[in-house]
Structure formats: C-alpha cells, structure tokens
C-alpha cells in the first residue's frame, strides 16, 4: 500500500509530469536532428552514380570512363587463351547499377598470357575469400598471420606479400596478414593536413592507426585538405582515419 501511495503522489505532482513532457520533447528533437540532418549528411543516401557499361572496352578506356564517373577501379586478370584478349570481359558491380560515389569497380580482363600471373588485391577481403582468390589466380597461399597493428575490421586481410598488381610466376607463394580488431590502448590522432596521402599513411601506421583516402583520383599532386577524426582526437589503436583530398562539403567529393 505504501508503494501505491508513493506512485499516486508522484503522478499527482505537476513537476513530475512537466519533467516527463520535457524529456519527451528533448528526445523527439534529438531524433529529428539525427535522422533528418546528421545521418543523411554522413551517409549521403541520396547521392548515387550509375556504373558505366565498360564490357568489351580496353582497360584504359574502361578506367577513364569509370574514374570520370567518380568510381575507383580494380582489375582482375585472367589468363584464358580461348577468351577475348586485352578487353574487359566482366565487371562488378554490373553495368547501370546505382552505387555510391567512390565505389570500387572490379574489372576482369583476359590477357591470354600463361607465363605469368598478376597478384590480385586481397586486402580488405575476408581470410577465406582472399585464399580462394589467390588459388583461382594459380598462386599458393603462404602464411596467414595476425597483423601486429590493430584494425577495426577483425579477420580482414590488411597486408599481402607480394603486393597487388605485381606480375609473378604461377605457383608463387603469397603471405597474408589479417586484422585482429581495435587495440586496448588509446592514441591521439596526428595532424596530417597538407601531407601527401602516402606520407600520411606511414605516419598513421607508425602511431598504430589505419587510414582510408577519400576521393583518391590517383593525382599525385593532391594533398590532404582535412581529416576525420580531427587532429588531437583520442581513439583506440587500429582506428581508421578518413583522409579527404578535397573539401568534404563540396558535392563532388566521393564518400
């Protein structure tokens, strides 16, 4: 009975109801701000580009067409003498797909060359998928070990040796490192504005931080104009710092 009287007393108190109404109003306001302004600005769900059809194009033509559409390019080399040579025979995502700017498009190109193979890029793929990609390229999977530098993406390949794009003999062994998740120690993000992306990557790795370059147009003259998180932010080891080569507030930035 004492508990019931206490509840009734609270419910009859106008200050309790005023507090509940205020809390509900604040919660609704926060919800609107996050969902209407913050999240759309961060994810940019309303921004997309159409993937060009580059099937049967040369690698140079295909790369130019995709990069002009604010897309990144990764090539996968086949060595099949019975297929058309030196042209794109497959692409992923497929032609006319709607994707975010900056999305990586994988082009399958047949060289017909059976004397060497090009090491595929398996970084950013899961361990099993990376192993399958290497075996499909007639390469041998060597050691698969945890990376000494933490990474936000657990069990994802962070480094490979030989590197992607190198031409080697069939049967060459490729060694892999994979991420183990964020570290337990916090570090301060350094200021890399004005730096070349390669130099920034090295500096961040020295501080046990990862990085990703936004709007990487392969223009060697571009420098980092801003970063996220900002310099001085405390983050856990392995955190991924986003490096922008252009102002992220402009419409042509690929995010």
d(CA 235, CA 242): 13
- Predicted local distance difference test score (pLDDT) of residue 38: 54
Picking from 63-77, 79-93, 168-182, which range would have the lowest pLDDT averaged per residue?
79-93
Strands (E), the chain: 49-50, 72-78, 88-92, 98-99, 104-110, 117-118, 140-146, 157-161, 167-168, 173-178, 186-188, 210-214, 226-228, 234-236, 240-244
- More confident position, 108 or 44: 108
Q: What is the mean pLDDT of residues 17-27?
A: 67
Q: What is the mean pLDDT of residues 116-135?
A: 93
Say whether pLDDT at 58 is over 80.
yes
Q: For the chain, what is the radius of gyration of the CA atoms? A: 25
d(CA 171, CA 174): 9
- Predicted local distance difference test score (pLDDT) of residue 115: 80
Say whether pLDDT at 61 is over 60.
yes
- Predicted local distance difference test score (pLDDT) of residue 209: 95
CA distance to 67, 103, 237, per residue, from 224 (Å):
19, 20, 22
- Predicted local distance difference test score (pLDDT) of residue 40: 54
7: pLDDT confidence band, cut at 50, 70 and 90?
A: low
- Predicted local distance difference test score (pLDDT) of residue 1: 55
Give tens-digit pLDDT for 28-48.
Answer: 676 665 565 555 555 455 678
- Predicted local distance difference test score (pLDDT) of residue 192: 95
- Provide the percentage of residues in the chain whose pLDDT is more than 90: 57
Enclosing H/E stretch for 17 = helix 14-32
140: pLDDT confidence band, cut at 50, 70 and 90?
A: very high
d(CA 203, CA 191): 10
Cβ atoms of 142 and 136 within 8 Å: the answer is: no
86: pLDDT confidence band, cut at 50, 70 and 90?
A: confident
Give tens-digit pLDDT for 219-244.
Answer: 778 899 999 999 999 999 999 999 99
Length of the chain, please?
A: 255
Say whether pLDDT at 246 is over 70.
yes
Picking from 100-114, 119-133, 173-187, 233-247, which range would have the lowest pLDDT averaged per residue?
100-114
Say whether pLDDT at 85 is over 80.
yes
189: pLDDT confidence band, cut at 50, 70 and 90?
A: very high
- More confident position, 184 or 254: 184
- Predicted local distance difference test score (pLDDT) of residue 116: 84
């Amino acid at each position: 009975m004492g508990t019931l009287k206490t509840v009734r007393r609270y419910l009859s108190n106008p200050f309790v109801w005023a507090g509940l109404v205020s809390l509900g109003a604040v919660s609704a306001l926060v919800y609107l701000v996050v969902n209407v302004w913050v999240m759309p600005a961060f994810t940019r769900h309303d921004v997309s580009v159409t993937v060009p059809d580059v099937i049967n194009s040369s690698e140079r033509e295909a790369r130019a067409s995709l990069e002009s559409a604010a897309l990144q390019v990764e090539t996968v080399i086949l060595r099949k003498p019975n297929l058309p040579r030196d042209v794109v025979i497959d692409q992923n995502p497929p032609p006319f797909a709607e994707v975010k700017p900056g999305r990586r498009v994988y082009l399958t190109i047949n060289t017909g060359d059976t004397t060497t193979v090009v090491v595929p890029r398996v970084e950013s793929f899961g361990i099993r998928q990376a192993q399958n990609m290497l075996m499909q390229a007639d390469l041998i999977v060597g050691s698969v070990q945890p990376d000494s530098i933490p990474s936000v993406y657990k069990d994802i390949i962070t480094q490979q040796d030989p590197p992607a794009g190198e031409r080697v003999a069939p049967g060459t062994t490729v060694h892999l490192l994979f991420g183990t998740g964020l570290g337990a120690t916090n570090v301060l993000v350094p200021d890399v504005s004005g730096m070349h992306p390669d130099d920034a990557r090295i500096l961040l790795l020295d501080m046990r931080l990862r990085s990703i370059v936004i709007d990487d147009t392969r223009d060697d003259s571009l420098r980092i104009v801003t970063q996220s998180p900002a310099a001085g932010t405390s983050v856990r080891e392995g955190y991924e710092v986003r490096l922008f080569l252009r102002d992220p507030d402009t419409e042509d930035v690929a995010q």
